[in-house]
Amino acid sequence: MVTCRRIAAVGPYKDLRRASGDVQRGGEVVEVAGVLFPGFVDCHTHAVFGAPRLDDHERRALGEDYKTVAARGGGILQSVRDVRARSESDLAALMQTRVRALLAHGSTTIEVKSGYGLDAANELKQLRAIRQTAAAERAALVPTFLGAHEVPPEFRDHRPDYVRLVCDEMIPAVAREHLAAACDVFCEPGVFDVAETRTILTAAQRHGLALKLHADELEGSGGAELAVALGALSADHLGAVSDAGIRALAASDTVAVLLPATMLFLGKRTQAPARRLVEAGAAIALASDFNPGSSPTVGLPLVMALGVSQLGLRYTEVVSAVTVNAAAALGLAADRGQIAPGFRADLVSWGVSDWREVAYWMGEQLVTAVWTGGSACPLPGGPVSLGLHVKA
Ligand code: NIG
Ligand code: FE
């Protein structure tokens, strides 16, 4: 039973009827065939971008790795050139289609990072595009500032100046306009080292932003330990996390966000050590990492299936990983991610007979209805045009 955007009570229908005047007074009764889950929380995406990066994909197939592709003109900087050339409203229009696709796959709360602007004007433009999209769409969007996603070409030879720009100009501007809930950094050898990351995240913390971290994605560098030391909401990727990083995560409230679709799409033969993290006692979330370079997927159910088959997680574990734990990775664990009294009435019904099938039918579209804040959302009637992105 749902009242005023929140769940009022949960239980057998006859008890709810007895407990509630509403139903007797003609409140709407919706019967759902199949399985009902809380709306999924996709706690790590880069959903504001222009064109896909098809050449990167093929270059990797021909043997170039992520860093070589980037060094040859592809990679994040290709999306940066693209985003810089687009208007805020163009980015928002592209994003609306993509957010509808994410919602149609069951994600009712979606974290979205900037990080393809890499200067004050373009980072703010991305964050404003997220705000514009959030106002128009039914999914809840949670914006994260990722100005330290890469060092832009104009700062290649004086990177400390870029770190200063992020700390002294971008973060204060983002905080002033309330454009982001959190700040993230790509902490990776060759991108931002641990000292630079600490400087940036400490500045963000001073401005009231929560912290997240791309940590130990491709090579371990102590990112997970840093995330824990700074009290970050999450440490994400963790493909190369150390034993000390696992122990630190397990002893903390920092959620380990794993992104198995990314490792698969990058052609990696390894995955983050999910079982060791679980067994050590860390909280695991799964996310799509939806982005044009390393994870062009909008489907958390696909990621859940990979969680089982690639990460060795159990069905129960992949469900917590996209609900309760994913909400915690955004600091929203008391507000959403559960079908329980007081929680936001974000609900998704799935056309399956057994709840485990949601993490089984790989890549299938199984969602039959979505409610956010207690009201039904229109779903796309046919295929979504993710690919219609006029060139910038
Ligand atoms: O999470 N690791 C850094 N960022 C993204 C990749 C973004 C891109 O390639 O455009 C990630 O995989
Ligand atoms: Fe990412």
DSSP letters for 156-207:
TT-HHHHHHHIIIIIHHHHHHTT--SEEEEEE-TTSB-HHHHHHHHHHHHHT
User: Quick check: 381 pLDDT over 90?
Assistant: no
- Give me the pLDDT at residue 300, please: 98
Q: Which atom of ligand 1 approaches the CA of 214 most closely? A: 2
- Which of 15-19, 165-169, 250-254 is the least confident region? 15-19
Tell me, yes or no, whether 372 lies in a domain. Answer: no
In a domain, 12, yes or no: no
Domain membership of residue 72 (yes or no) is: yes
Query: β-strand 107-113 against 347-350: which pairing, if any?
Result: unpaired
- Model pLDDT, residue 16: 84
- The verdict on residue 26 lying in a domain is no
- Asked if pLDDT for residue 18 goes beyond 80, the answer is no
The ligand 1 atom at the shortest distance from the C-alpha of residue 292 is: 10
**Cα–Cα distance for residue pair 63/50, rounded to 1 Å:** 25
Q: How far is the CA of 87 from the centre of ligand 1 (A)?
A: 22
What separation in Å is there between the alpha carbon of 113 and the centre of ligand 2?
8
Q: Ligand 1 in contact with 113 (CB < 6 A)?
A: no
pLDDT band at 2; cut points 50, 70, 90:
low
Is 289 touching ligand 1 by the criterion CB < 6 Å? Answer: yes
The backbone region for 289, taken as left when phi is positive above 0, alpha when psi lies in -120 to 50, beta otherwise, is left
Please write the tens of the pLDDT for every residue from 106-137: 999 999 999 999 999 999 999 999 999 999 99
Query: Residue 24: in which H helix or E strand, if any?
Result: helix 21-24
Q: What is the DSSP string of 302-365?
A: HHHHHHHHTT---HHHHHHHHTHHHHHTTT-TTTSSS-STTSB--EEEES-SSGGGGGTSTT--
Distance in angstroms (rounded) separating the CA atoms of residues 206 and 17: 49
3-state secondary structure 199-232: HHHHHHHHCCCEEEEEECCCCCCCHHHHHHHCCC
Largest CA distance in the chain: 70
* Residues with C-beta atoms within 5 A of ion ligand 2: 289
Nearest CA to ligand 1 atom 3: 186
In a domain, 381, yes or no: no
Are 209 and 182 in contact by the 8 Å Cβ rule? The answer is yes
- In angstroms and rounded to an integer, the radius of gyration of the C-alpha atoms of the chain is 20
Q: Is 79 in the pocket of ligand 1 (CB under 6 A)?
A: yes
Index of the ligand 1 atom closest to the CA of residue 56: 9
CA of 291 to the centre of ligand 2 (A): 8
Distance from the CA of 281 to the center of ligand 2, in angstroms?
A: 24
Backbone φ, ψ for residue 54 (5° rounding): -65, -35
Whether the CA torsion 86, 89, 92, 97 is positive or negative: it is negative
Binned at pLDDT 50, 70 and 90, residue 360 comes out as very high
Kindly report the protein residue whose alpha carbon is nearest to atom 8 of ligand 1.
293
Domain ranges, residue 209: 38-345
> In this structure, what CATH number is given to the domain that contains residue 67?
3.20.20.140
How many domains does the structure of the chain reveal?
1
Distance 215 CA to ligand 2 centre (A): 10
User: Given the CA of residue 70, which atom of ligand 1 is nearest to it?
Assistant: 9
Query: With a 6 A CB cut-off, is 119 part of the ligand 1 pocket?
Result: no
Dist CA 314 CA 41 (whole Å): 18
349 lines ligand 1 (CB under 6 A): no
DSSP code for 234? E
165 belongs to a structural domain = yes
In a domain, 20, yes or no: no
Which letter does DSSP use for residue 43 in this model?
A: -
What's the pLDDT at 22?
Answer: 55
Q: How far does residue 9's CA lie from ligand 1's centre (Å)?
A: 41
Atom of ligand 1 nearest to the CA of 188: 2
Mean pLDDT along residues 249-254: 98
The CA distance from 46 to 59, in Å, is 21
Query: Cα(27) to centroid of ligand 2, in Å?
Result: 43
Asked if residues 344 and 373 have their Cβ atoms less than 8 Å apart, the reply is yes
- Residue 2 in domain: no
* The model's pTM: 0.96
- How many angstroms does the Cα of residue 135 sit away from the middle of ligand 2? 24
